[in-house]
Amino acid sequence: MENSIIEQQRQALEDIERTELAIVDMMQQDLTQHRYRLIREHKINELLAQIQSRSHLVLELEKDSSGRRHQEMEHMAAHQLEEFAARLGEIQSYHRRNPGALVHPPELEYAKYAANPEHIERERKSRAARQQHQQVLTESDDMASLDAGAGHGPPEVVETFVGEGDREKLDTMFSGDERLGRHVDLNAQHELFLNLKDAPRLTYLEYLAQLGSPQSNYSGCLKRLPAYTEYLTSLDEYFRGFFARSRPLFDLPGALDEARRQFDELWARQEVPGWEAAAEEGKGEREGEGEEEGGGLVCATCNRTFEKQTTYAAHMRSRKHQKAVERAAGQTGAGNTGEQPKQQPKQQPNSASDRDIAWAETAVRTYAQILGTSIRDTRADIERRQALTDSERRRELEALDQDNEGEYSSDNDGSSEEQAYNPLNLPLGWDGKPIPFWLYKLHGLGIKFTCEICGNTVYRGRKAYEKHFLETRHATNMRRLGIPNTRQFHGIAVIEEAMGLWRRVQAEGRRENAGADAVEEYEDGEGNVFNKKTYLDLKRQGLI
C-alpha cells in the first residue's frame, strides 16, 4: 500500500490541506512581540515552500509518465473487493508484527501551529509564580496545615511553532544594529560610498536620508566607475538579504517587476530620475555630429578640451603645446605636431552599461522606499544615541545585555496592556518602554515649547527646542517669511515677534546708512569743512 500511486497522491493532498490550515491558525494569532511575529513569518514561509514541494509531487504523479497510475486505476476498478481485502490484510499484518507501535496522528503534528506562544509563556510564568508563592506559605509555621501538594502537579508541556533553536537562529540572523530587522545596517556600504572618487562626503545620517532619492548630483564619470557598480551590487545584495531575513513573506519579485516596467517606460523617453543630464548630453552629441564645435575639441597630448575651433587652433600653435608634443615624442618616438582635432569620446546614455547602472540605482531606490519606515527609525535611533551622555550610553548597554540574558524568562514578555502602561505619559525609549522618571526630569522633558514658525510644533525640553532653531525646517520657514535665520532670531518662535524684530533691524540699518552722510566730512580748497551732503550740493552748483 505504501507504493500505491493513489495513496501517495492522497497523502500529499492531505498534507497540503493541513499545512494551509496551520498557516491560517498562525495568522489568526494576535502576537504583540516583534520576535514572535518574525519567527511566525519565517515558519509560514517554510510551510509555503512545503506546499509548493507537495504540489509539485502531485502534478508529477498526475502526469503519470510511467503509466503506473493508469494501471493501478484499472486494476482497482476491475477488482474492487480483492483490492480492499488485500490492503486490509496488509494493515492487519503490520499490527501483528508491531503490536506496541505508537500511532502518530497528523492532527498532533499540526496542533503546535494553533498554540499561541505568548499565551503559553504567560501561563508558564503565572504557574511558576503561584508555585513559588505556595512554597513560601507552606514553609511558614502558621500555614503548615495547608495542602502543600495543591497545584504542584507536573506542568503540562504545550508545544508551539517556536522551536528550540528558533530564537538562537533569529539572533544570529541579524547584526546588533539591525535590532531583529527593525533597523538597517549600511555601515559597510557607506564606507564603499565614501571611497568612491569624487563622491560627496556625506555623514551616515545624510547617506541614509538620500538613499531613496535620485542620484542627480552625481556626475556621469562617477556613475561609470567600476567601483560605483560594485557599490550598487553590494547595496542590492544587502537589501535582498535584509528582505529575506526581516520580511520573508514580502513579494519582492513583484515589486521589482513593477519597478522594472516603469523604468523601461522612463528609459525609452529618457526621463529616468538621475539620468536626465546624461540624456541631454547624449542628445547634444547626436545633434552636433559633424560640426566642429558640437561635442568639444580635445588635445590628447595636453589632455585639454576646447569649446571653439579658434581657441583650439591657437592652442595647437602655442609653444606650450609644442613642448608637450616634443616630450611625448621623446617618450614614445611617435610625436606629431599636426595632430587632428577629434571629438571628445563620451559614452552614450543609451548604452547597455548605462542602462544597467540606471536600473541598479532604480532598484536601490525601490528598496529604500519600501523600507522607508525602517530607515527613518534607524536615523532616529542614531540621533538619539548621539545625544546620550557616556553614563547614559553605558547604562543602556547594561540594560540591553540584561534583556538579552533574560529574553526568554524575564517579565518583559508581558501583555500588551502591561507594556503600554504609561500613566505619566513619559516618552518611549529605544525598547518601546517609558524612559525613567529621573531622566525625564533631568532633561526637562516635562516643559513643552511651541514654535509657531514651524507650524505650532511642540518640542519637549529646552535642549530639543534650542536645537531646532539650527535645523532645516525652521530655517526654511524663516526664509518663507522673508527673514534670514541669523543668531539674533534664535529663541523667537512667534511669527509676529520675528516680523517685528526684522522690521526693527531693517530700520536700524536704514538709519545707519542715512547717518553715514552726516558723519563723513569733506574739506574744500580754502579749508572749509562740510558734511558729505552739503559738500556735494555746493560742488554741483559750482560754488566750490
The helix (H) or strand (E) run that includes residue 189 is: helix 187-194
Are residues 321 and 272 located together in one domain of the fold? no
Please give the Cα distance from 269 to 213 (Å, whole number): 20
Residue 448 makes CB contacts below 8 A (sequence gap 6+) with: 458, 459, 460
Amino acid at position 450, single letter: T
Are residues 103 and 25 located together in one domain of the fold? yes
Please give the Cα distance from 131 to 437 (Å, whole number): 33
pLDDT at position 52, please? 93
Are residues 210 and 91 located together in one domain of the fold? no
pLDDT at position 512, please? 75
Question: Of 376, 394, 424, which residue sits at a domain end?
Answer: 376
Residue 54 makes CB contacts below 8 A (sequence gap 6+) with: 12, 13, 15, 16, 19
Place of cell 482497482: 76
- Domain range for 28 is 5-115
Answer yes or no: are the C-beta atoms of 224 and 347 closer than 8 Å: yes
pLDDT at position 170, please? 82
Are residues 252 and 338 located together in one domain of the fold? no
Amino acid at position 373, single letter: T
Please give the Cα distance from 13 to 239 (Å, whole number): 36
In a domain, 66, yes or no: yes
Are residues 229 and 336 located together in one domain of the fold? no
What's the distance, CA 391 to chain centroid?
29
pLDDT at position 451, please? 93
Are residues 69 and 214 located together in one domain of the fold? no
Please give the Cα distance from 371 to 377 (Å, whole number): 10
Beta carbons within 10 angstroms of residue 359's beta carbon? 18
pLDDT at position 514, please? 67
Helix axes 226-246, 187-194, angle to 10 degrees: 170
Are residues 214 and 302 located together in one domain of the fold? no
Residues of the chain scoring pLDDT < 70: 1-3, 133, 136-158, 215-217, 219-220, 276-297, 300, 303, 307-309, 329-350, 399-421, 423, 430, 514-519
Amino acid at position 498, single letter: A
Specify which residues 448 forms β-bridges with. Answer: 460
pLDDT at position 136, please? 63
pLDDT at position 245, please? 92
In a domain, 201, yes or no: yes
In a domain, 441, yes or no: no
Q: Name the grid cell of 241.
A: 538579504
Are residues 45 and 191 located together in one domain of the fold? no
DSSP summary character for residue 217: T
What's the distance, CA 153 to chain centroid?
50
Q: Name the grid cell of 446.
A: 516635562
